[in-house]
Amino acid sequence: MTKHYDVEAVRKLFPAAEKMTYLDSGFQTPMSTPVRQALEVFIEEAYETAGPKAIWVERMEGVRAKVATLLNAGPQEIAFTKNTSESMNIAANALPLKPGDNVLMLHGDHPNNAYAFLNLTRKGVEIRFVPMSEVVNADSFRPYIDANTRAISMSQVTFHAGHCFDIESVGRLCRERALYYVLDIMQGIGVVPIDVKRVGATFIGAGTHKGLLVPQGLGLLYWDSCCTELEPAYLAAISLAHPPADFIARPDELELSATAGRFEIGNFNLPATHALGAALDLIASIGVEKIAAHCLDLGDRLIAGLDACGVALVGPRERHHRAPHIYVAALPADEWLNYFADKGVRLSPERDGLRISFGMFNTASDVDRFLDVLREHGSASGCSPKAA
């Protein structure tokens, strides 16, 4: 395999990857040493000094700038949220939609994106589900747009089959037809390179517990700061341009922050922002392009091995249509998940099979171990692995 970076050195930063064959980063990533150390700094400061909040918040602003760099956005376009679902709900409720308007989505997209918009049906907004095929691009949506279409919302990478959709072509379509464009990049962030300016999205949501290596409970929202007409459904003092210094709310001073801070409410998950800072430094020290290239190579090895075992791949095979790190083998999860777990191989059950998902620390030996365990089952039962 081509050496894109020193994977063995990176792997040492993820001790859990040495204790099991961890092929489940599409679910969550194991904690790395730099993330643990950042959390320990926070805990130590909280424990010993009762919390230097001003310093923590200042560090959080530094992390906001790092998130912006990762996405090619401005720091003023990044809000911290709780998770992807909260980001998608903020976006859905900020769009100026009225009864009779419609939003296009992909049938079978992640429910945490879909429900944020389906909730708008209570206000008379129509959600139109467009069929999801192996390739999704502008042409997938074009036939469904009519005079009442106002927005498209979709995931960049599918969690259940590892598609990686052409989000830039959909962005061009949205610009052409003056539609709002909302993206869920939860599965792609940290592994699939993204330039939000090229994509041209209005809002982008993600959590940080997969490719961004942080424990659950911190999310991100990108907002195109040119869209000043978009206002939050919820309000807190920090959402305002001029929060009252005396902490007395004034009904006549509701001017919103000019930054994505208008979508933030209340205090922050400060320990998680510390963890994110360390994770982003680690990612930047390697480069997202290199992480993607490495995972794609692992994927090639996996696909060749599945082919040799006669097990079908669910989802795209071509490099430019597949997510670098997410693969689903057509092995019925209820038959196979526990078998692999018993052999120390961590995977996720999905709609159409077993999901094998890579992180920056996985090596060819992890893929080979998965394939060996797969073959062992076949030889023990005297038959080749049964495809779904």
Residue 112 sits in the site that holds ligand PLP (CB under 6 A): yes
* Packing angle, helices 288-309 and 364-381, rounded to 10: 20
Q: Tell the smallest beta-carbon distance from residue 186 to ligand PLP (Å).
A: 4
**Nearer of residues 209 and 274 to ligand PLP, judged by Cβ:** 209
Instruction: Report yes or no: 373 and 342 within 8 Å, Cβ to Cβ.
Output: no
Site string for ligand PLP, 144-173 (x = CB under 6 A): -----------x---x--------------
Q: Compute the least distance from the CB of residue 319 to ligand PLP, in Å.
A: 21
Footprint (CB under 6 A) of ligand PLP, residues 50-109: 83-85
Rank residues 311 and 328 by Cβ distance to ligand PLP and give the closer one: 328
Place of tokens 């469904």: 144
In the three-class reduction of DSSP (H, G, I as helix; E, B as strand; rest coil), residue 136 is classed as coil
DSSP-assigned letters across all residues of 256-324: BPSSGGGG--SS--HHHHHHHHHHHHHHHHH-HHHHHHHHHHHHHHHHHHHHHHT-PEES--SGGGB-T
3-class SS at 151? strand
Are the C-beta atoms of residues 139 and 148 closer than 8 Å to each other? no
* Shortest separation between residue 112's beta carbon and ligand PLP, angstroms: 4
Answer for which of 184, 224, 264, 297 binds ligand PLP (CB under 6 A) is 184
Question: Mask: binding to ligand PLP, 187-226, rule CB under 6 A, as x and -?
Answer: x-------------------x-----------x-------
Determine the 3-state secondary structure of 181 from DSSP. Answer: strand
CB 157 → ligand PLP: shortest distance, Å?
A: 7
Cβ(84)–Cβ(132) below 8 Å: no
Judged by CB, which is closer to ligand PLP: 355, or 377? 355
Which sign does the torsion angle of CA 32, 34, 38, 44 carry?
A: positive
Question: Which CB atom, from 17 or from 326, has the smaller least distance to ligand PLP?
Answer: 326
Tell which one of 105, 186, 272, 311 touches ligand PLP (CB under 6 A): 186
Residues that bind ligand PLP (CB under 6 A): 83-85, 110, 112-113, 155, 159, 184, 186-187, 207, 219
